[in-house]
């Protein structure tokens, strides 16, 4: 039972983080003129609509079972028809930015909940402590997960959001060259994780935000 509870405390904030990340893409795209995500039923908190077999189930499970120091995953990308966006490439950058921004706001909210539940979680046993303790742990995990997702997605690698932001704002010849690399993007990310280079690039940035919030 304890293991089931520990997994639930970890999986619930992970699902919220990756689902709200994708929903924010669809919502901002709709505000910028593209209703594709809405028409396909992707602006919803229903996890079934967003589950990606590899990014939402297999990869997090492998990281969890192997005792990885971080948990990472992704949902099925929300479809965006960039031709419908009123602001062209500028709006594409806004749509891309919305995901990491959502994770940053969730990290701030999680940090607030973490601090508010500290007394209850560490105080004498009672009804409030039974509620505050799991919330405290979940908020701690949620803050970390959302910071990881924010920093990772801001890496300038297409199809990550950071890459799409660069494609949306860079001169056309640079944007075109980066767009052509999209097919290799996730492979590059996985190689960064497997090689350990990941820790030297991502962890220092995450730790800065962690010290500020927590």
Residue 69's pLDDT band, with cuts at 50, 70 and 90, is low
Q: How many CA atoms lie within 13 A of 113 on its CB side?
A: 20
Domain ranges in the chain are 2-213
Among 108, 22, 8, 140, smallest CA distance to 73 is for: 22
Among 46, 156, 41, 17, smallest CA distance to 96 is for: 156
Among 87, 100, 95, 90, smallest CA distance to 168 is for: 90
DSSP for 6-18 reads HHHHHHHHHHHHH
Whether the predicted pLDDT of 211 surpasses 90:
yes
Contacts of 145 (CB under 8 A, 6+ apart): 13, 14, 17, 71
The mean per-residue pLDDT over the stretch 129-149 comes to 86
Task: Check if 22 is active-site.
Answer: yes
pLDDT of residue 208: 93
Rounded Cα distance between 135 and 90, Å, is 39
The mean per-residue pLDDT over the stretch 171-198 comes to 81
For 104-114, the pLDDT digits (tens) are 999 999 999 99
State the catalytic residue, choosing from 6, 22, 30, 182.
22
With pLDDT > 70 as the criterion, what percentage of the chain qualifies? 88
Global pTM? 0.86
Residue 182's pLDDT band, with cuts at 50, 70 and 90, is confident
pLDDT of residue 31: 95
């Amino acid at each position: 039972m304890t293991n089931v509870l520990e997994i639930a405390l970890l999986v619930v904030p992970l699902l919220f983080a990756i689902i709200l990340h994708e929903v924010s893409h669809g919502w901002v795209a709709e505000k910028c003129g593209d209703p594709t995500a809405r028409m396909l039923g992707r602006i919803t908190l229903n996890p079934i609509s967003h589950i990606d077999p590899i990014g939402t189930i297999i990869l997090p499970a492998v990281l969890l079972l192997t005792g990885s120091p971080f948990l990472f995953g992704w949902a099925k990308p929300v479809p965006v028809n960039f031709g419908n966006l009123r602001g062209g490439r500028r709006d594409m950058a806004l749509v891309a930015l919305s995901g990491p921004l959502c994770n940053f706001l969730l990290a701030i909210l999680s940090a607030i909940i973490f601090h508010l539940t500290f007394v209850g979680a560490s105080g004498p046993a009672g009804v409030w402590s039974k509620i505050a303790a799991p919330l405290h742990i979940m908020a701690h995990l949620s803050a970390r997960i959302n910071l990881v997702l924010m920093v990772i997605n801001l890496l300038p690698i297409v199809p990550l959001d950071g890459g799409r932001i660069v494609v949306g704002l860079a001169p056309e010849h640079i944007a075109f060259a980066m767009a052509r690399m999209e097919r290799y993007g996730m492979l590059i990310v996985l190689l960064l994780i497997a090689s350990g280079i990941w820790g030297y690039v991502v962890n220092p940035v995450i730790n800065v935000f962690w010290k500020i919030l927590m």
